[in-house]
């Protein structure tokens, strides 16, 4: 997921990504995926259950609610996948995705 930029309190956007393992789409059948968003200035994090859109294609999405995007700033984002066997993988495996929430004028 490249850097995502949007306005504070905008909830009509969905965060989407494709989970890759060794360059191939991960099979997310019977897995749970969490969307994690951390404020780079305060360290406060949001961790919510994401939706697996295409299990065999590794596609996931998260639709934020107002409390998730109510503060302007720069955030680090990652996905946490837990498979049915209990094994876990964090994506991206190195670094973070970046989310920028710009202030709105209203």
| pLDDT > 80? residue 106 | no
Domain count, the chain: 1
Strand partners, 82: 32, 88
Read off the CATH number of the domain in which 41 is found. 2.60.40.3350
- Count CB atoms within 10 A of the CB of residue 89: 15
Q: pTM here? A: 0.91
Angstrom distance (rounded) from CA 33 to CA 48: 9
Task: Give residue-wise pLDDT tens across range 75-101.
Answer: 999 999 999 999 999 999 899 999 999
Task: Give residue-wise pLDDT tens across range 36-79.
Answer: 999 998 888 899 999 999 999 999 999 999 899 999 999 999 99
Provide the domain limits for residue 91: 4-102
What is the end-to-end Cα distance of the chain in Å, rounded?
A: 28
């Amino acid at each position: 997921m490249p850097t995502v930029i949007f306005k504070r309190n905008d909830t009509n956007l969905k965060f989407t990504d494709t989970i890759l393992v060794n360059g191939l789409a991960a099979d997310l059948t019977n897995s749970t995926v969490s969307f994690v968003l951390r404020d780079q200035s305060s360290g406060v994090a949001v961790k919510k259950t994401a939706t697996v859109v295409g299990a065999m294609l590794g596609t996931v999405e998260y639709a934020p609610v107002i409390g998730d995007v109510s503060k302007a700033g720069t955030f680090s984002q990652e996905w946490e996948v837990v498979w049915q066997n209990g094994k876990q993988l964090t994506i991206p495996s190195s670094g973070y995705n970046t989310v920028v929430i710009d202030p709105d004028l209203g």
